[in-house]
Structure 1
């Protein structure tokens, strides 16, 4: 009963993590314009994401432009794209694999060993998806903080942490929790595979020796005494 509840909880938490990873990948709010200094026009906001740049001014609709060339992008942005896509693929496949290992699914019914192995694989995939989310989000956050305090950059080139980074960190936490719920379980032993019959050692039987009764001893002594008397008479 407890394992069934933990499996359902792991699926729900993993689904939330998958949705969060998709939102983090698609949102353009990775880097946001930093409103510092007196000469910056505060009515204009610039967002930089993995796939596009967006501009928004007061009373004007937001305009977004997709990056023209993939090879022209910096290496950190290309790596962030690849890792986030890997996270989506691993999390989605992990949830699909976990469906086959759940107790409420008829697949592999009655084989607890196989179901546990499947859940272990799903948990490993969720854990790798968690790592693939944390690396680009933390890397981008470190770059933004480093450039913000760089005295060689002007104020217009500084950026702040966007909403997508915070969603990415929360998403990584959900994926990690889902992985732990899948992995924290006991490994059952497969019936008929490792059971070896050991015969119980036979206990040595103790032979009981009945003591000679006092009647038989007295009769034996009397016979011996009579034989001695006969020998003396002769």
Structure 2
């Protein structure tokens, strides 16, 4: 039978990952100014995200501005936007299916439990796909930042460091993957679709067993 506790734990972890993913998508803290050498003005810190960049000063003033053109952005940023938004949309769909397919809910009335099991397992798979879709842009952005940081051909003012949003994004991806896996396992019916053993079937229906023996004798 499906495990209600695993289903609920998987849903809770997945929802936490979805909320963290939404914060990461909106936060302009993917890239932060790197203080290397003496060419940077340390009185100002540049933050860069998927939708805007911000300039923070030591006086406490923060000025943010959205990007003027989407098409003018690098291809990696455009792909990161698409994957993060796709991941968040998949999480919403998976959450709806997970709540409907949970054993402790009655959204489907007196529907067959096998249908609820299928919905729960599908929700777990969608959460896993969403976690992978969110993990790709986070990891690729971190790789690009580290590559440019150690590239001597990149000017010091253009170097960036890993922002706190990337670390939160890795945590969100882990929560989505773990929550989806627990939801899928908790929605799996153990032995629900297997046929009963031959001996047990013969005991439960002795008339059918007698018919089988009669047919065998007739062929002989």
> When the two structures are superposed, what TM-score results if normalisation uses the length of structure 1?
0.80
**Aligned pairs (5 A) from 1:1-234:** 3-108=3-108, 109=110, 111-185=112-186, 186-187=188-189, 189=192, 199-200=205-206, 201-202=209-210
Q: Which runs of 4+ in 1 moved over 6 A?
A: 194-197
Distance 1:110 1:70, change over 3 A: closer
Structure of higher RCO (CA pairs closer than 8 Å, 6+ residues apart): 2
Instruction: Indicate the SS of the match to 2:179.
Output: helix
> When the two structures are superposed, what TM-score results if normalisation uses the length of structure 2?
0.85
RMSD (CA atoms):
2.3
Q: How many residues align?
A: 201
Structure 1 residue 40 displacement after superposition: 1.8
Instruction: Indicate the SS of the match to 1:151.
Output: coil
Structure with higher helix content: 2
Structure showing greater radius of gyration is 1
CA distance in 2, matches of 1:94, 1:60: 41
Structure 1: unaligned runs, 5 residues or longer: 205-234
Structure 2: unaligned runs, 5 residues or longer: 214-220
